[in-house]
Amino acid sequence: MSAGGALRRTLEAALDVVAVLGIVLFACRPGSSVEVPLPSFEDVDPDVVRAVQEARAAVEANPESGTTWGELGDRYAAHHFLDEAIRCYARAEELDPKSDFWAYRLGWITFMNGSDAAAVAPLERALEIVGEFYGPAHDAYGQVLLRLGRIDEAAEQFTLASRLDAESPQAETGLGQIAFERGDLEAARAHLEEAIARDENHGEAHIVLARVYHALGLEDEAREHAEKSRSLPQFSDRNDWLVNPSVSPAGATARTDYGMELEQKGKFDEAAENYRIAIESNPRSAMARKRLARILVKQSRRDEAIELLRDAERQGVSTALTRDYLARLLGSKEVPEE
Amino acid sequence: MCENSPPFAGMGYSFDRRSLALLALVAASGCAPGESIAPGAVFRDVTAELGLSPPEGPPPDGAYHLPEIMAGGVGLFDHDLDGDLDLLHVRAPLPGSEGASVSNRLYRQEADGRFADVTDEAGLTEPGYGQGMAIGDVENDGDPDVYIANYGPDEFYLNDGDGTFTRSTGNAGFQGSMWSTAASFFDYDGDGFLDLYVTHYVGLDPEKKCADPRDRLEYCGPWAYTGRPDTLYRNNGDRTFKDVTAEAGIVLPDHGARATGLGVLCTDFTGDGRPDIFVANDLQCDNLWVNQGDGTFTEEGILRGVATDEFGHPEASMGVTAGDADGDGILDIFVTHLWGEHNRLFLGGRGLQFDDYTVESELARYDLERTGWGCCFFDFDNDGDQDLAVANGGVRRRPPLAGAPEGMWREYVETNQLFENDGSGRFLQVGDKAGSFASNLEVSRGLAFGDIDEDGDVDMIVSSIGNNLRVFRNEAPAPGHHWLLVRALTKGRDALGAQVRVTAGDRERCSPVLPAASYLSSNDPRAHFGLGPIDAIDAIVVLWPDGERERFPGSDVDRVITVRQGEGLGP
């Protein structure tokens, strides 16, 4: 083989690699397509189709707006077109890179769609923008890291989330889970007791605390928390999103999202109806309860609003959100003008 | 390379097959990280060769009637005592059909290995809306009897010992018409007779319709209904049974409103020698009923860490199996779940709790996109560790997979999965090597395993929606790998719930006698051991269901050994 031939073959081989890399990079480049996602609407309810098409039209009218893409993502997410929602959020983030919101939504929906590892990067981007400010974002990132087995990093996020949001039980539950995983039973107990102090109806905290007490040999306490967990509503909001979207005629999360959309358009009666459906399908839908109560207050039906929130307490499904609003309505806290 | 007519030669560079191969490699590595790909498929679909009818196409469209997507199980057992495994298929009316019941099918394995439909002559003819089954010898006369779990009244058949059965549902005292799913025979009170545990799913309201977030009709989940408490029947020893659920303490605080059982395992999970009960509940906490030794049970699923995921969150549990995933001689539990959740591996420990090993086992890398049902631990390549198979199929619409058939089930079909154990409890998904077991796109449910062709390796049968069956013959090349099948008998019958340990050198392998496992299915009751290069074993130790530990002498390998309680060398 001549030296020239060898050089030529080497160059050709290098070009091959470059070509392949080029193709791969072209195919994988983020947000490279501005085509508006259009899923199959076969058998889909006409109202849902109409709602999605409105958001699509807004994108087509203003394709360089991150907000319109993000709102289309919200619409797709509400109706479980998750792949389409993810593409829209990715485009929204590309167009609006200084906003943490679209990256956060992208990461969270990706996580909810079952892609733990893929959720990490967008959540990290969101946190880079937002900094140490918004507790739920750190909590969400912590949950993703925990599912990936990155326990130390998850603990950092939960610690931060707990500090930023002193009312949230979720981060303390996460810290309790991690301490239990590490075998630090006393620390686990402290975090989980704190989580329950923040929300006495936090089922996951009761379940893990039962295991902690069992490991500590404190059987009475263990069984008490196990029994408490069994007395709580069956499904958490996470399950509502993942696997409980189909209670007729739609899931609590989707109905709540749709109700909020209707509120923004001033359609309060229709919004209220959607919140009622959401509450019926998931009595623990704190957001739906609070939003419905707010509408009732607007409509001068304050007593009904109070009853709605008290009903949550009677059913053992109140949360900090509903309790806080009930306290405001009962006069111990100021009801903000909304 | 220029001789290969480069299609892009005019673009200034060549792009030949080597480049395409490289591209394919890059694409493949991106799509399926960690897949083990090797030439020669391990499992081959031999359904037609064995005289059974493979699916001719997707099932008929369904009517969003929940029971139509829950059925049905498959069972492997020697019904006529001729020494080979026969096949029982519990069937349901086809999706969308108006029918309320159909007959199950019993296939006898003939001398040439083919299966013949003997349903009518065997007398297993009572039609029903079939779901699952339990198989065990309830009268200790040496032949296996059959309990059929139905959506509607269950059925029970006593084996007459000559390949025929006598329907004995009423005479035996089985009553009730709750929606039954999984069932397991086991001797919970140590009286030598097999008792029965039956899980019930929900109280179905057929008029209730559900929709997905796009307001399209969709199958309701268990959240739309109220759960139903399970039932424990005690064998009176005279071919009759008594419902002892309440007196045995199998009672949840909400009286079963959250009991949505789909899977059950009955063996000792706590190390005290008494059989316990693990129940997989759909979307609710799983239960571990711990045998107190006095005829009662206490629920300790939460306390022992097998009720939820690691976050304390209940999941949609369907299928269950037990095996020794990490080779430490202690039984572990594997539970299949809905898409978006992980199938979960709980390692048994010598302490008080199970350890959620899902992430460490690497299984968490593979399962979020599928809905798992039937499952089994077994050593498919006889290399000495327990591998894992999972049958998958959707319960709600998902974006269709490439190659999915047209029609309603397009958005429900999934592929099954085979995982190879690296010997330490870490699992690697087997790619092409799994053959058509892992490439068929169907809505699979039941999965049973056993050495159907008696060649020393474990074969599989999978059922799918539409009363479809597929038999997968194990053709794994395992040169130099040895095996052992142990049939453990007590009172003249299979010792359901026993745990068999085989020791060789410094290693001990554990396998349960646990036919009632997976999803609605029943496996070969013999304990199978892959031994790798080991060509002789030092001892067999059986932990019998009554708590007795008995040692049997070692032997050579590549054979079936029958051990009987009381005939061993002592503890």
- A113, A228, A244, A246: best to mutate for the B interface, most B CBs within 10 A: A246
> DSSP letter string over A138-150?
HHHHHHHHHHTT-
Q: Do A231 and B285 touch (CB under 8 A)?
A: no
Q: Does A250 touch chain B (CB under 8 A)?
A: yes
pTM value?
A: 0.80
Q: What is the mean pLDDT of residues A14-35?
A: 48
Q: Does B16 touch chain A (CB under 8 A)?
A: yes
Q: What is the mean pLDDT of residues A224-241?
A: 65
Q: Do B285 and A229 touch (CB under 8 A)?
A: yes
Q: What is the pLDDT of residues A38-65, one digit of tens each?
A: 888 877 777 778 888 888 999 999 999 9
Q: What's the pLDDT at A254? A: 63
On chain A, the residues whose CB falls within 8 A of the CB of B18 are 16
Q: What's the pLDDT at A306? A: 93
Q: What are the CA-CA distances from residue B223 to residues A244, A254, A277, B318 (Å)?
A: 7, 16, 15, 15
Share the mean pLDDT of chain B. 89
Q: Do B211 and A214 touch (CB under 8 A)?
A: no
Q: What is the mean pLDDT of residues A162-185?
A: 91
Q: Does B306 touch chain A (CB under 8 A)?
A: no
Which among A96, A54, A57 has a CA at the least distance from the CA of A265? A54
Q: What's the pLDDT at A214? A: 93
Residue A81 has pLDDT above 80, yes or no: yes
Contact (Cβ atoms closer than 8 angstroms) between residue B195 and residue B189: yes
Q: What's the pLDDT at A28? A: 38
Q: What is the pLDDT of residues B90-104, one digit of tens each?
A: 999 999 987 789 999
Alpha carbons B405 and B429: distance in angstroms, whole number = 24
| Chain centroid, CA B261 distance in Å | 14
Residue B399 has pLDDT above 90, yes or no: no
On chain B, the residues whose CB falls within 8 A of the CB of A207 are 285, 302, 307-308, 312-313
Q: What's the pLDDT at A76? A: 87
Q: What is the pLDDT of residues B451-489, one digit of tens each?
A: 999 999 999 999 999 999 999 999 988 789 999 999 999
Q: Which has the higher per-residue pLDDT, A18 or B351?
A: B351
Report the range of poorest mean pLDDT among A10-14, A204-208, B424-428: A10-14
Contact (Cβ atoms closer than 8 angstroms) between residue A264 and residue A277: no
Residue A159 has pLDDT above 80, yes or no: yes
Q: Does A207 touch chain B (CB under 8 A)?
A: yes
Q: What are the CA-CA distances from residue A158 to residues A145, A171, A190, A199, B438 (Å)?
A: 10, 5, 14, 16, 39
Q: What is the pLDDT of residues A295-338, one digit of tens each?
A: 999 889 999 999 999 998 888 777 766 787 888 888 755 554 44
Share the mean pLDDT of chain A. 79
Alpha carbons B558 and B555: distance in angstroms, whole number = 10
Report the range of poorest mean pLDDT among A29-33, A47-51, B268-272, B327-331: A29-33
Token pair of B182 as six digits? 């999984």
Hey, CA dihedral for B232, B237, B241, B247, is it positive or negative?
negative
On chain A, the residues whose CB falls within 8 A of the CB of B216 are 43-45
Helix/strand/coil for B236? coil
Which among B444, B443, B461, B442 has a CA at the least distance from the CA of B452? B461
Alpha carbons A170 and A178: distance in angstroms, whole number = 12
Q: What is the mean pLDDT of residues B394-408?
A: 90
Residue B158 has pLDDT above 60, yes or no: yes
Q: What is the pLDDT of residues A250-279, one digit of tens each?
A: 456 667 767 776 777 678 898 898 888 888
Q: What is the pLDDT of residues A94-120, one digit of tens each?
A: 999 988 888 888 988 888 777 778 889
Contacts of B270-276 spanning 24+ positions with Cβ under 8 A: B270/B304, B271/B330, B271/B350, B272/B547, B273/B543, B273/B546, B273/B547, B273/B548, B273/B549, B274/B188, B274/B190, B274/B547, B275/B186, B275/B187, B275/B188, B275/B497, B275/B545
Q: What is the mean pLDDT of residues B124-143?
A: 97
CB within 8 Å of B236: residues ≥ 6 apart: B193, B242
Query: Which residue is associated with the tokens 């009761």?
Result: A206
Q: What is the mean pLDDT of residues B432-438?
A: 92
Q: What's the pLDDT at A98? A: 86
Which amino acid does the sequence have at B253? Answer: P
Cα nearest neighbour of A21 on chain B: B23
Helix/strand/coil for A271? helix
For chain B, how are helix, strand and coil distributed in percent, rounded to 5?
10, 35, 55
Q: What is the pLDDT of residues B231-244, one digit of tens each?
A: 999 999 999 999 99
Q: Do B211 and A248 touch (CB under 8 A)?
A: yes
Q: Which has the higher per-residue pLDDT, A327 or B174?
A: B174
Which among B523, B527, B535 has a CA at the least distance from the CA of B459? B523
Q: Do A234 and B284 touch (CB under 8 A)?
A: yes
Alpha carbons A240 and A282: distance in angstroms, whole number = 8
- The shortest CB-CB distance from A79 to any of B19, B214, B303 is to B214
Smallest Cα distance from B306 to chain A, Å: 10
On chain A, the residues whose CB falls within 8 A of the CB of B258 are 230, 234
Q: Which has the higher per-residue pLDDT, B107 or A228?
A: B107
Total count of residues recorded for chain A: 338
Cα nearest neighbour of B256 on chain A: A230
Q: What is the pLDDT of residues B506-528, one digit of tens each?
A: 889 999 999 999 999 999 999 99
Q: What's the pLDDT at B505? A: 80
Q: What is the mean pLDDT of residues B377-401?
A: 94
Q: Tell me whether 0.85 is exceeded by the ipTM.
A: no
Q: What is the mean pLDDT of residues B327-347?
A: 93
On chain A, the residues whose CB falls within 8 A of the CB of B208 are 248
Alpha carbons B184 and B521: distance in angstroms, whole number = 10
Q: Does B308 touch chain A (CB under 8 A)?
A: yes
Residue A142 has pLDDT above 50, yes or no: yes
Residue A140 has pLDDT above 70, yes or no: yes
Alpha carbons B62 and B513: distance in angstroms, whole number = 37
Which among B144, B140, B138 has a CA at the least distance from the CA of B165? B144
Query: Which residue is associated with the tokens 């209707």?
Result: A262
Residue A152 has pLDDT above 80, yes or no: yes
At CA B201, angle to CA B196 and CA B202, rounded to 5? 140
